[in-house]
Amino acid sequence: GTDGELVFTTLTKEALPLIRYRTGDLGAVTVELCACGRTTARLIRLGGRRDDMMIIRGVNLYPSHIEQILLTVDGVGPHYRLILERPGPMDELTLECEPSTLDGDRVGLQQTLEKNLKEGTGVRIAVSVLEPGTVPRSEGKAVRVVDRR
């Protein structure tokens, strides 16, 4: 299946049938035969929320995609945030993250992240590797995107 917004229809709810209900979730559905024998359509992938999408220099980016790239780089701590700004006519994105150790090579980590993000997304994302403990923490759900436009 191709990626898109998941839309459901259910006519079994007599009090409130849902017809083409837009979930806001991104994913893919397949109708191929399952190994278990199931023949109905099934969800094969979830890709985040439609309203999380950012458009940077004409490229659609999702925070989940950037996080997948971050997870492939050794030395990156678990805390990060994305800063959206519009200093000129186009939006720009900056990643603020922390090294996983106090003695990590911050310059090398920054260069690796910028290279991997450019290759993985097709757009240049500025990276700031901060001191450990300086990316703001939040209680409850993590605030990953700060929109300053």
Give the rounded distance of the alpha carbon of 51 from its chain centre. Answer: 11
Q: Give me the residue spans of the domains in the chain.
A: 4-50, 53-147
| CATH superfamily label, 53-147 | ANL, C-terminal domain (3.30.300.30)
User: What Cα–Cα distance (Å) separates residue 36 from each residue in 31, 41, 42, 84, 100?
Assistant: 13, 13, 12, 44, 41
Average pLDDT (111-131) is: 94
- Total number of residues shown for the chain: 149
pLDDT for 39 equals 86
User: Does residue 108 have a pLDDT over 80?
Assistant: yes
Does position 1 have pLDDT exceeding 70, yes or no? no
Q: Beta partners for 61? A: 54
Q: pTM for this one?
A: 0.69
pLDDT at 29 over 90: no
- How high does pLDDT run on average in the chain? 87
**What distances in angstroms separate CA 47 from CA 73, 90, 106, one per listed residue?**
20, 25, 30
pLDDT digits (tens, 9 = 90+) for 89-98: 989 999 999 9
**pLDDT tens, residue by residue, 33-91:** 888 888 888 888 787 777 778 888 888 888 888 999 999 999 998 889 999 999 989 89
CA distance 88 to 82: 18
Residue type, 128: S
